[in-house]
Amino acid sequence: MFSMPAKAKASSYDYGEDSYPRLCKVIQGLIIVSEPIGMAFMFLLGERLFLPLGLNSSYLGPLTLFIGIMQFLLFSQVLSLVLLILAKWLIVGRYREGNHAIYSLFYLRHWIVERLAQNTPLSTAWVKVPDLQTPFAMPTSLGVSIGPNLIKNLLLKALGADVSLSAVVAAPVVGYDLLHVGPMATVHGPNHLSAVSFAGRRMCLAAQKVGAGAYVGPRSCLEPGSEVADGGYVEPLSTVPSGMTVTGRVSGVPAKPVETQFPSKARELQPGASCSFVFWSSMWALFSWLMVVPKALEPFVTLLIFKFLSGSVAPHGGSLDFPPTFFDHLWWFPVLAFAGSITHTFLTFVFTIAVCQLVPKARPPLDVSMTSVRARMIAFKVALVSQMSNMLNDASMQAALLRLCGADIGKGTFISDIQALPETLTVRDDCFIATDNIVTSVNLDQGRLLLPSNTILEARTFLGNRNHIVEGLPEESLAGFNTWLPAKPAEGKLSYFGNPAVSFSRPAQQVAKPSKQMKIWFHFGSSIINVFFWKAMRHTSVAFTLCVGRSIFPHLTAIWQALVLLGIYFVMPLGFWYIFGVCIPNMLHNDQAPKLQGMYSQGVLRYMNAQSAMKAFTSPVKTAGSAWQGSLLWLKGAKVGRDFFSTADDVLWDPCFSRIGDYVTMDYDVTVTMHSAEDFQMKFAEQEIADGAILMQGCTLASADVGCRAILRPGSVTWKGQILEPDRTYEGVPAGELHMDLERGQQP
């Protein structure tokens, strides 16, 4: 649809004199490949040293062995943090305001530090995947843990950030030295709190300040160079542009002042509030070390199973190795890994339901200190339910398990992953809730946990993706994409979209009823295969890799054998990922799929299976921010031009329908989706992003085409089917044209 001459491309998109793209590509490639090699080395060390050591430690009691595993896990986490701190100061030094080329030497140093931050609470993965938690991890922003939050603040201080110990920072953080977060401030995730921007295909750094007692809501964006003054309030799903200072309450994309019933005096901090919050947070931090227990259980149970199957625990020939009887049962371990994964997933659901049923219910209205026992119980339930809902994703049994957790879910309702407090959630009959919605009034602000109301979605309501619904929706209402509704609308049968939400008539629904056989197969496929099978296959692949290595080399007697085994442990995970994370998803769902499919159809079930397989078998090769990102997306079915730049690995929701031109740039937290769910139907659309397009932080391109050099501003969301014209700038939710200086990415 959109194109430009090759000579014009070369002159228009030069990275700049201070860039070294070829050098960066080589160094980044070496680092990217070294990471799976490092994982292969740790696997080799684990199965040849640590596992035999634990298996032969018959003189150790179970408790001592378990404590030893916990200590090892804690040590590995502390080591990763120490390495990050050393690397930041030795490689980058201090972040300072400035403008650098993408693929400059400074960008390369920044990229290396960001790689080391991936396995720490500063990265997006820790925010989005609660089952990765350790004492340093952060759960969902509404279920934030007080102890880990204090540890994260200490880590940020060690990295150069000016962050108060009493602040709550649930967002991933980038550009540490340029960040200031004051006492009792709250910055929700999952969008980045970043002093770094890639607008205009340059790495721009500018200071960010969040003042004392200020509030930044979930999925809000603060552009580098923006400021939230003391007591300022940025409502969820809002964007504060560069150069703006928020002094009151603001909302929208871009943020504008809004009326509030609360006087400014109500946001003034009480004397001693910060010191009290830090003191009680430190008390909770002492208990937060217990969060490593679930991580230690898996290797501990594995050792017990190995001991049981091996029988004898005497070392082989007096050396540190598996007992001889171990090899008699070697190929049982993939089977046990498959069964163990299913058992682990099932027990996770049982534990979540038990906690929700046994812990006292929360009754709104509620306003308690975040450090109180009552608030900790509420936050724990929100974190557990959000984790369970994320694991279930599009499973049809999501509604049934949420009912068991205490939510009131009506018949015929479809729910994907949500953040919610179950006892305060009511969803009537025949509703549809898509991916990644917040449906609760739970809020964290100035060290307080607030629960002002229940959340009630009346019959036949529809929620698209990433909406934030506080009180609920009236009957037959629709909330589109990134919609913020702080109060329940009075009138039903309307559609709401954006922030501030615009309303319009809801189109008549035409729901096709599936047959009973289709529903039965859909329930089995989405609730059994998607939830249990793919994750179990991932665990089985690990056990299978161990069995292959032990079958080829039962005992290592020469260095060349260790090197060959290292190669096997490097190649096999890549092979499993390519088969289960690339080939099978591409066969299940590709650009030949029908563009319109019923929700219970075989096509939609194949799509869900493809998504579950890719989620279980994540790529061991992480290419975000490198020149290799486009090649990885090609494997997943996308058509990507040269010099594609993205700060995220999984920026495309439906790669097979994407057509991306040359020199396209995507900043932090960008989402590109090519499907929508309407009237219990899935609608897919091909999408073209033309040469030189720039998608800025936190924006969402929803089934829309982008012309050459078009810009979508931070936090903006397109209409479905919208066309962003070449050389134009768009902003808002929904996005509208804006006159801007395209070179600087700023308003004139």
**Sequence-ordered list of residues with C-beta below 8 angstroms from that of 655, at least 6 positions apart, any chain:** 633, 636, 637, 638
Residue 588 token pair = 């299940």
**What is residue 515's predicted lDDT score, i.e. its pLDDT?**
76
**What is residue 459's predicted lDDT score, i.e. its pLDDT?**
93
End-to-end Cα separation, the chain, in angstroms: 29
- What DSSP string describes 10-37? HHHS---TTB-HHHHHHHHHHHHHHHHH
Average pLDDT across the chain, whole number: 86
Q: 693 in helix, strand or coil?
A: coil
Is 140 a residue whose pLDDT tops 60? no
**What is the rounded CA–CA span in Å between residue 401 and residue 529?**
17
Residue 430 token pair = 């025949």
**What is residue 744's predicted lDDT score, i.e. its pLDDT?**
40
Is 341 a residue whose pLDDT tops 70? yes
- The pLDDT tens digits for 464-479 are 889 999 999 999 999 9
Write b or e for each residue in 599-625: b if 16 or more Cβ atoms lie within 10 A of its Cβ, otherwise e: bbbebbbbbbbbbbbbbbbebbbbbbb
Distance of CA 400 to the CA centre of its chain: 25
Distance of CA 362 to CAs 24, 389, 452, Å?
A: 53, 20, 11
Confidence of residue 130 (pLDDT cuts 50, 70, 90): very low
The stretch 80-94 carries a mean pLDDT of: 93
Please answer whether residues 84 and 159 qualify as being in contact, where contact means their C-beta atoms are separated by less than 8 angstroms: yes
Confidence of residue 265 (pLDDT cuts 50, 70, 90): low
**What is the rounded CA–CA span in Å between residue 442 and residue 448?**
10
Is 664 a residue whose pLDDT tops 90? yes
**What is residue 454's predicted lDDT score, i.e. its pLDDT?**
96
- The pLDDT tens digits for 310-332 are 665 454 444 566 767 777 788 88
- The pLDDT tens digits for 456-513 are 999 999 998 899 999 999 999 999 889 999 999 988 889 999 888 888 887 766 666 7
- Least trusted range by pLDDT, from 111-115, 123-127, 185-189, 373-377: 123-127
Q: 504 in helix, strand or coil?
A: strand
Strand-pair partners of 187: 169, 216
Angle at 233 between CA 232 and CA 236, to 5 degrees: 155
The stretch 523-529 carries a mean pLDDT of: 90
Phi-psi region of 404 (alpha: psi -120 to 50; beta: other; left: phi over 0): alpha
Residue 574 token pair = 């890549």
Please answer whether residues 219 and 191 qualify as being in contact, where contact means their C-beta atoms are separated by less than 8 angstroms: yes
Evaluated on CA atoms 80, 86, 88, 91, the torsion sign reads negative
- For 39-73, the three-class secondary structure string (H helix, E strand, C coil) is HHHHHHHHHHHHHHHHHCCCCCCHHHHHHHHHHHH
Task: Map tokens 């500018």 to a residue.
Answer: 206
Please answer whether residues 92 and 113 qualify as being in contact, where contact means their C-beta atoms are separated by less than 8 angstroms: yes
The stretch 425-432 carries a mean pLDDT of: 94
Is 557 a residue whose pLDDT tops 90? no
**What is residue 129's predicted lDDT score, i.e. its pLDDT?**
41
**What is residue 469's predicted lDDT score, i.e. its pLDDT?**
95
- The pLDDT tens digits for 709-745 are 999 999 999 988 899 999 999 999 889 998 654 444 4
Rounded percentage of the chain residues whose pLDDT exceeds 90 = 58
Confidence of residue 5 (pLDDT cuts 50, 70, 90): very low
- Least trusted range by pLDDT, from 272-286, 331-345, 508-522: 508-522
**What is the rounded CA–CA span in Å between residue 189 and residue 714?**
15
Confidence of residue 95 (pLDDT cuts 50, 70, 90): very high
Q: 538 in helix, strand or coil?
A: helix
Distance of CA 475 to CAs 245, 430, 431, 460, 533, Å?
A: 39, 11, 10, 6, 37
**What is the rounded CA–CA span in Å between residue 68 and residue 150?**
25
The maximal CA–CA distance of the chain, rounded, in angstroms, is 79
Please confirm whether the linkage preceding 365 is cis (ω < 30° from 0).
Answer: yes
**What is the rounded CA–CA span in Å between residue 637 and residue 225?**
37
Mutual orientation of helices 293-310 and 62-87 as an angle, nearest 10°? 130
Confidence of residue 47 (pLDDT cuts 50, 70, 90): confident
Residue 541 token pair = 């692949």
Q: 255 in helix, strand or coil?
A: coil
**Sequence-ordered list of residues with C-beta below 8 angstroms from that of 335, at least 6 positions apart, any chain:** none
Distance of CA 192 to CAs 140, 230, 517, Å?
A: 14, 20, 45
Residue 525 token pair = 């496929």
Is 305 a residue whose pLDDT tops 80? no
Please answer whether residues 184 and 156 qualify as being in contact, where contact means their C-beta atoms are separated by less than 8 angstroms: no
Confidence of residue 126 (pLDDT cuts 50, 70, 90): very low
**What is residue 354's predicted lDDT score, i.e. its pLDDT?**
96
Beta-sheet pairing, 596-598 with 639-640: unpaired
Pick 368 or 15 by higher pLDDT. Answer: 368
Is 256 a residue whose pLDDT tops 50? yes
Looking at the chain, which residues constitute the CATH 2.160.10.10 domain(s)? 359-505
The stretch 134-163 carries a mean pLDDT of: 76
Distance of CA 399 to the CA centre of its chain: 22
Phi, psi of 639 (to 5 degrees): -105, 110
Pick 201 or 239 by higher pLDDT. Answer: 239
**What is residue 120's predicted lDDT score, i.e. its pLDDT?**
76
- The pLDDT tens digits for 167-185 are 999 999 999 999 999 999 9
**What is residue 68's predicted lDDT score, i.e. its pLDDT?**
77
Element spanning 565, H or E = helix 559-576
Confidence of residue 16 (pLDDT cuts 50, 70, 90): confident
* Burial of 297 (C-beta count, 10 Å sphere; 0-12/13-18/19+): middle
- Least trusted range by pLDDT, from 295-299, 397-401, 440-444: 295-299
In terms of CATH architecture, what is 359-505? Answer: 3 Solenoid (2.160)
- Least trusted range by pLDDT, from 113-122, 188-197, 733-742: 733-742
Pick 345 or 15 by higher pLDDT. Answer: 345
Distance of CA 190 to CAs 216, 288, 525, Å?
A: 11, 22, 30
Please answer whether residues 453 and 441 qualify as being in contact, where contact means their C-beta atoms are separated by less than 8 angstroms: yes
- The pLDDT tens digits for 620-632 are 999 999 999 998 9
- Least trusted range by pLDDT, from 146-155, 396-405, 739-748: 739-748
**What is residue 683's predicted lDDT score, i.e. its pLDDT?**
87
pTM of the full predicted structure? Answer: 0.90
Rounded percentage of the chain residues whose pLDDT exceeds 70 = 89
